[in-house]
Amino acid sequence: MSSDLSTLPSVPAAEYIAAVSQHVSSVCVITTELDGHRYGLTATAVCSVTAEPARLLVCVNKSGTTHAKLVESGRFCVNVLTEEQDKIAMIFAGMGGKDIDRFAEGHWTRLTTGAPVLSDAAAAFDCRLAEACEQSSHTVLFGDVLATAHRSGQDTLLYGARRFRQLRKVFAMHPGGPDEYL
Ligand SMILES: Cc1cc2nc3c(=O)[nH]c(=O)nc-3n(C[C@H](O)[C@H](O)[C@H](O)COP(=O)(O)O)c2cc1C
């Protein structure tokens, strides 16, 4: 095996996409408000970074309309959808058309930053933009979490293998052992 990995090419995009589509994630809607207007998109590229400080990241495609608004406003909310909110996921993914009001569906409120918060989301992370790191077609937005909300017991909407999916609980079969982790 070559010891100089830096000379090796990355796999083609189609090969990468086929493999990464097997990675299942919670479906989120990333929102912001700028000059009195609300913006948002559906995203699964969301990840916790650290708990101290409370920080997460979101990867947003630069070609979308919401991208510039997120960067300019310096604030965003990550709304983790429940499995009943698949319609909201599709609307914020642009499947309802370009000209519709994406916020017409659901009840929207605010926490600290003023970014729109979906009241009955499984969880909401209200963030101040801490850092924006450009990565080819996307920008990785790091957010410092200034406020949260969550509804325990709500199963989150999932997306993987090119389908919206539901969470199915699997219990470990260790006699007397834990059936929950974390
Ligand atoms: C399940 C799912 C996950 C998505 N994840 C992301 C994501 O992580 N980042 C992103 O930039 N777009 C993602 N998209 C695409 C955007 O939601 C879509 O392009 C949307 O129309 C962008 O809206 P905008 O142009 O108004 O910003 C995803 C779409 C779907 C259906």
Tens of pLDDT, residue by residue, the chain (182 residues): 557 999 999 999 999 999 999 999 999 999 999 999 999 999 999 999 999 999 999 999 999 999 999 999 999 999 999 999 999 999 999 999 988 999 999 999 999 999 999 999 999 999 999 999 999 999 999 999 999 999 999 999 999 999 999 998 886 666 665 555 55
111 Cβ below 6 A of ligand 1: no
Measure the N-to-C terminal CA separation of the chain; round to a whole number of Å. Answer: 39
Fold observed for domain 25-162: Pnp Oxidase; Chain A (2.30.110)
Per-residue confidence (pLDDT) for residue 170, from 0 to 100: 80
- Angle CA(112)–CA(98)–CA(38) in degrees, nearest 5? 15
- Angle CA(173)–CA(176)–CA(181) in degrees, nearest 5? 65
Kind and range of the H or E element at 95? none
Per-residue confidence (pLDDT) for residue 145, from 0 to 100: 98
CA of 151 to the centre of ligand 1 (A): 24
Tokens of 106: 């659901």
66 Cβ below 6 A of ligand 1: yes
**pTM metric for this prediction:** 0.94
CA of 93 to the centre of ligand 1 (A): 5
CA of 70 to the centre of ligand 1 (A): 13
